[in-house]
Amino acid sequence: MFSKSCEYGIRAVILICEKSRRNLILNVKEISAEANVPEQYLAKVLQQLSKQKVISSVKGPRGGFFMDEFQKGLTLIDLIKAIDGDSLFKDCSLGLKECNEKTPCPLHKYFKTIRTELREMLEFTTLEQLSKDLKKGKTKLKDIF
């Protein structure tokens, strides 16, 4: 459903948010290990999120990434739009260029309902809510083998 960049960004930001609640700053290597995300790929995603002000960064040997109180209150839709834009809500589910109410694809009416519900969930779910579930052990960020 989400691009790989978006998947990795969501994992990383939930972790950063959780650690920021304890005033910790994480570097790319730590985030990569805890969120099970390739380090080089993650560095690019985090740089993009920092430029979009979804997360904050500190440079230097003790630098890394963190979130302030405003950023913790951002929603999943803010994060997704910062990485992937809003194509999830606009593009045709079958990849057609001309898909709309006037000229719908065979799946258009079905996806319209799903997208509406998904958008509502993403608009009302904050990053801090997700980080609290992680802290409580209700959720996980990597597969356990």
The per-residue pLDDT for range 87-126, each reduced to its tens digit, is 888 889 899 998 999 999 999 999 999 999 999 999 999 9
* Confidence band for 8, pLDDT divided at 50, 70 and 90: very high
Pair 92, 99: CB distance under 8 Å: yes
Measure the CA angle with vertex 137, ends 54 and 131; round to 5°.
Answer: 15
The CA distances from residue 3 to 96, 116, 129, in Å, are 18, 19, 22
Instruction: Please check whether residue 66 is in contact with residue 19, taking contact to mean a CB–CB distance below 8 angstroms.
Output: yes
| pLDDT tens digits, one per residue of 44-98 | 999 999 999 999 999 988 899 999 999 999 999 999 999 999 888 888 989 999 8
**Domain-located, residue 8:** yes
Provide the CATH number for the domain around residue 123: 1.10.10.10
Task: With respect to residue 94, please indicate whether it lies within any of the assigned structural domains.
Answer: yes
Whether the per-residue pLDDT at 29 is higher than 80: the answer is yes
Residue 145 falls within a domain, yes or no? no
Position 141 in a domain: no
Q: Is residue 140 in a domain?
A: no
Q: Which amino acid is at 79?
A: L
Distance CA 138, CA 38 (A): 24
pLDDT band at residue 43 using 50, 70 and 90 as cut-offs: very high
Q: How many domains does the chain have?
A: 1
144 domain residue, yes or no: no
Q: Is residue 18 part of a domain?
A: yes
pLDDT number for residue 1: 73
Return the structure tokens found at 11.
């994992």
SS3 content of the chain, % helix, strand, coil (to 5): 55, 5, 40
pLDDT value of residue 143: 67
Nearest CA to 46 out of 15, 12, 76, 22 is that of 12
Q: Which domain holds residue 104?
A: 4-135
| Residue 77 resides in a domain | yes
